Every structure is written in C-alpha cells, then in structure tokens.
Amino acid sequence: MTGTYEEDVRVFEHREAGDNKVIARFYVHAREDEAASAREGRPIFREMEYVEIMAPGNLNNIVRRPASDADRQRFPGAYRAFKAGVGDFVDGTPLCEVIWITKGQVAELSYNGIRSLEQLAEVADTVCARIPGLMTLREKARKYLEVSKDSARFTKLEKENEDLKNQIASLTEAVKDQTRIINELKTKKD
C-alpha cells in the first residue's frame, strides 16, 4: 500500500520540532495485565495513562500508546489539563470562540481533529483537498492570526507610549517641585 506524505519534512529537524503542529490528549485506558490474568484465571485489568497524538485533519495517522515521562514532558499543557480533569485541552484560540466560524463548521473541524484557530491555520494542503471549503477557512485563519499579531504589536506600542507619557508627566512635575524649592531657598538666602 502506498500513500502520500502530508507533512513538511523540516518538522523533523529536531525531536520536538513539530510538536506545535500536533494535538496531544492524555486519557486513562484499562489494559489487561496478562501475568495477573494468568495467575488469577480471569481477566485482570490495570488502568494506565495513555497518550493520543495526531496531526490536525489527518485521521489516518493517530498514535495511541501508554504515556511515558517523555510524553508528559513533551506535552506539559495537555498533561496538566488531563490531571486537572479538563476535557480536551486546546492550546490557542478555540474554534467555538471565533465568530466567523459557524457551529456546524466547528463540529466538522473538531471531528477532523482541528480544535483551535492556530491548528486550522497549519492544516496541510492535502487535508484541505479532502474537505470542501477548508482551504478558504485555513487562509482566513492565517490572515486573522497575522492581523492579530500586528494588532498586538500596535497595542503594546500604544501601552508603552502611554507609560512613557505618564513617566514624562511625573518627571516634569518633579522638576517643577525642585525648581520651586530651589527658588524658595534662593529667596531665603537673599
């Protein structure tokens, strides 16, 4: 069976290079303890922490395995959410909070493993080709995130400007006070 590879190979330049492009979810799974089952003569199960890792939109390549310490360190936000009892952890802007994405689109995207605006913006072309309208949504998400970054820079500069104005006003007031004190001292000296 031959298939096509959907991801950018630069994702694998170092071990965690592509971690921001995948979804990780931790959960508890009951796994049969074969040794205990053989000893007891009945099925014995042990609950274990598992991890599920997938690329948004790629339902054909999902890894599910017992969670290791490396997985817990690799995806600390998802693991903290799991331990806190939070359902699906979404890192970024949840699609349900984006006003230009309909509830139906949110449901369809979620089914395909795309739950945040950032994940939508990073969906591979081959995934977009399989889902009608996804290319348009992806481009809109990319533009929205780009504009948001510019807006955030502007807001930051605006705040810095306001802080500097307040600092100048404070220093100007201090200079006025010092000038008044110096003039009073001169008057007393004369």
Q: Facing residues of 50 across strands? A: 27, 66
Distance (Å, whole) CA 82 – CA 27: 7
Look at residue 131 and tell me if it is in a domain: no
In eight-state DSSP terms, residue 13 is: S
Residue range of the domain that includes 10? 1-89
Q: What sections of the chain are H helices per DSSP?
A: 34-40, 69-74, 76-83, 103-111, 117-121, 125-130, 134-189
Give per-residue pLDDT as tens, 48-96. Answer: 899 999 888 777 888 999 999 999 999 998 898 888 876 655 667 888 8
Distances from the Cα of 8 to the Cα of 60, 92, 171, angstroms: 17, 21, 54
Give per-residue pLDDT as tens, 144-181. Answer: 888 887 777 777 788 888 889 999 999 999 999 999 99
Look at residue 2 and tell me if it is in a domain: yes
Length of the chain: 190
Check residue 16 and give its pLDDT: 58
Look at residue 178 and tell me if it is in a domain: no
Check residue 89 and give its pLDDT: 59
Distances from the Cα of 167 to the Cα of 18, 136, 160, 181, angstroms: 43, 46, 10, 21
Give the predicted TM-score (pTM) of the model.
0.49
Q: Coil, strand or helix: which one is 23?
A: strand
Look at residue 186 and tell me if it is in a domain: no
Look at residue 107 and tell me if it is in a domain: no
Distance (Å, whole) CA 190 – CA 157: 49
Q: Please count the structural domains in the chain.
A: 1
Distance (Å, whole) CA 101 – CA 131: 15
